[in-house]
């Protein structure tokens, strides 16, 4: 089944000049880019996004890190995209992430870990609504689609 999922390229990704490299990996995998925008995150939006961390001592530090520079919010689509993208990102702690994953190849930190990815269909739906207006996510036929999947996979 085709799914849409959120990827946020964090401030460190921009600062380190890795935006093209990271988006390239998702595109090379065969995921379709359905939306992309640069934005400066606010404390209000991050308080909502990281509400599950609000009781943790590092809550403000996480929000400050995400506001240090703009981010790039992306919507990728594909069969089992949520699971695929989350696996491609690797373990949250870059030091523990397997080589070959985005975090395993590009970071050494638990917090400064290059990307945020949705971890479930429910999370993806809520996060996409949080970061994108409906008209900012595009539905178009990707020319290579027939070469990515068997006709009974989607």
Residues 27-46: pLDDT tens digits? 999 999 999 999 999 999 99
Whether residue 43 lies inside any domain: the answer is: yes
Q: Which percentage of the chain shows pLDDT scores above 70?
A: 100
Tell me which H or E stretch contains 3: strand 2-9
Handedness of CA 110, 111, 116, 122 (dihedral sign): positive
Residue 57: which CATH number?
A: 3.30.70.141
Whether residue 154 lies inside any domain: the answer is: no
Whether residue 51 lies inside any domain: the answer is: yes
**Looking at the 3D structure of the chain, how many domains does it have?**
1
Taken as a whole, the chain contains a residue count of: 154
Whether residue 142 lies inside any domain: the answer is: yes
Mean local confidence (pLDDT), 134-143: 96
pLDDT score recorded for residue 1:
83
pLDDT digits (tens, 9 = 90+) for 9-21: 999 999 999 999 9
Instruction: Name the pLDDT band for 109 (thresholds 50, 70, 90).
Output: very high
Q: Which domain holds residue 81?
A: 2-147
User: With contact defined as beta carbons under 8 Å apart, do 13 and 115 qualify?
Assistant: yes
Q: What pTM, to 2 d.p., does this model score?
A: 0.95
Mean local confidence (pLDDT), 121-125: 98
Whether residue 56 lies inside any domain: the answer is: yes
Q: Is the pLDDT of residue 154 over 90?
A: no
Whether residue 152 lies inside any domain: the answer is: no
Whether residue 140 lies inside any domain: the answer is: yes
Would you please indicate which residues are annotated as catalytic (active-site) residues?
116
């Amino acid at each position: 089944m085709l799914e849409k999922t959120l990827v946020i390229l964090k401030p460190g990704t921009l600062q380190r000049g890795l935006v093209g490299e990271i988006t390239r990996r998702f595109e090379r995998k065969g995921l379709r880019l359905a939306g992309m925008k640069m934005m400066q995150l606010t404390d209000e939006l991050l308080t909502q996004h990281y509400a599950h961390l609000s009781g943790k001592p590092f809550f403000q530090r996480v929000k400050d890190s995400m506001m240090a520079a703009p981010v790039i919010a992306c919507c990728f689509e594909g069969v089992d995209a949520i699971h695929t993208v989350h696996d491609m990102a690797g373990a949250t702690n870059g030091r523990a992430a397997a080589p070959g994953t985005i975090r395993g190849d590009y970071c050494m930190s638990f917090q400064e870990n290059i990307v945020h990815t949705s971890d479930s269909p429910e999370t993806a739906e809520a996060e996409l609504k949080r970061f994108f207006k409906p008209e900012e996510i595009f539905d178009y036929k990707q020319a290579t689609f027939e070469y990515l999947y068997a006709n009974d996979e989607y």
